[in-house]
């Protein structure tokens, strides 16, 4: 157990250093992910379409400005305009209108002083789903929690096995296509209705009724319809229930 009450099996991060952490619909929930995984993980993507809406991207404060262990080296901007531009567009496939937001990425580069390791933290204004497809080729950690039907209503962890067998793709397929062997899924089971991945959500909405240790002890390893196996290896604090850390083994 770490000083912050988080739990993580030793050596789990050993092979993950070259790969980023991706957190869609992250809101302001930055610090636990950084505290848990930096400096072993060196690149973090937080993606939310609410970023840089009230202030342009060059006027928001650095995420780690009050953390003496981190020294800011520089800040870069990419992809789109610093101030948010939104418009209604028509999806040519469905004829439905949807709200389009011009993406913008703010990338803060730090030195983690105790280890001299460089860390890059990206905040991206834009869609969580298109950000994953556009920015990430290989993924070390998929981090998703604190969301609901009243939040993004994106069913990141839902796969309908019957439809999947008939070839339909789900958002979680985009994660599994990219996650490396021994990569991690960190989740409290948000937006995960009953089905293939229900083990992720077994303790969802139990809030403080169960400790991290108890949740870890009761979490059952499982294998999904694509042959990926999941084993609980840690606990990352409570959100809508305990946030558990699952290690993914890719099929051979
Ligand atoms: C309930 S909040 C959760 C925030 C964070 N996960 C937490 O635990 O504090 C849901 C967030 O999803 C964002 N959001 C909703 N739909 C989104 C989408 N399609 N792409 C990216 N972000 C989205 C909202 O702006 C909001 O910040």
Ligand 1, atom nearest to 50 Cα: 25
Residue 20: its H or E element: none
Question: Atom 7 of ligand 1 has which residue's CA nearest to it?
Answer: 146
The pTM of the full predicted model, rounded to 2 decimals, is 0.95
The atom of ligand 1 lying closest to the CA of 47 is 21
Q: Which residue has the tokens 């070259």?
A: 18
pLDDT reported for residue 93:
77
pLDDT of residue 7: 96
DSSP, collapsed to helix, strand or coil, labels residue 127 as coil
Measured in Å, residue 101 CA sits from the centre of ligand 1 at 14
pLDDT at site 116: 98
Say how far apart CA 85 and CA 226 lie, in whole Å: 39
Is the shortest distance between the CB of 151 and ligand 1 below 6 Å? Answer: yes
Q: What is the pLDDT of residues 44-91, one digit of tens each?
A: 999 999 999 999 999 999 999 999 999 999 999 999 999 998 889 887
Whether 2 shows a pLDDT value over 90: the answer reads no
Do 251 and 177 touch, CB atoms closer than 8 A? no
Q: How confident is the model at residue 1 (pLDDT cuts 50, 70, 90)?
A: low
DSSP bridge partners of 222: 230
The span from the CA of 187 to the CA of 146, in Å, is 9
- Inform me whether the pLDDT recorded for 252 exceeds 90: no
CA 204 distance to own-chain centroid = 17
Residue 162: pLDDT band by 50, 70, 90 thresholds? confident
């Amino acid at each position: 157990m770490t000083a912050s009450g988080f739990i993580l099996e030793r050596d789990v991060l050993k092979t993950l250093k070259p790969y980023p952490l991706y957190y869609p619909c992250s809101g302001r929930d930055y610090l636990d992910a950084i505290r848990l995984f930096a400096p072993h993980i060196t690149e973090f993507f937080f993606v939310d379409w609410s970023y840089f809406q009230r202030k342009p991207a060059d006027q928001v404060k650095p995420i780690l400005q009050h953390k003496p262990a981190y020294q800011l080296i520089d800040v870069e901007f990419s992809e789109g305009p610093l101030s948010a531009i939104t418009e209604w567009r028509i999806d040519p496939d469905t004829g439905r209108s949807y709200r389009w937001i011009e993406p913008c990425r703010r990338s803060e580069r730090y030195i983690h002083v105790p280890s001299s390791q460089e860390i890059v933290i990206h905040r991206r204004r834009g869609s969580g789903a298109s950000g994953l497809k556009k920015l990430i080729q290989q993924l070390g950690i998929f981090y998703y929690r604190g969301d609901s039907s009243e939040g993004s209503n994106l069913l990141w962890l839902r796969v309908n096995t019957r439809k999947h067998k008939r070839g339909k793709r789900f958002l979680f397929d985009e994660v599994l296509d990219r996650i490396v062997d021994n990569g991690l899924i960190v989740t409290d089971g948000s937006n995960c209705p009953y089905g293939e991945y229900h083990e992720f959500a077994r303790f969802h909405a139990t809030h403080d009724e169960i400790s991290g240790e108890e949740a870890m002890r009761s979490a059952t390893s499982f294998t999904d319809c694509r042959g990926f196996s999941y084993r609980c290896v840690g606990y990352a604090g409570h959100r809508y229930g305990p946030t558990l850390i699952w290690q993914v083994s890719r099929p051979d």
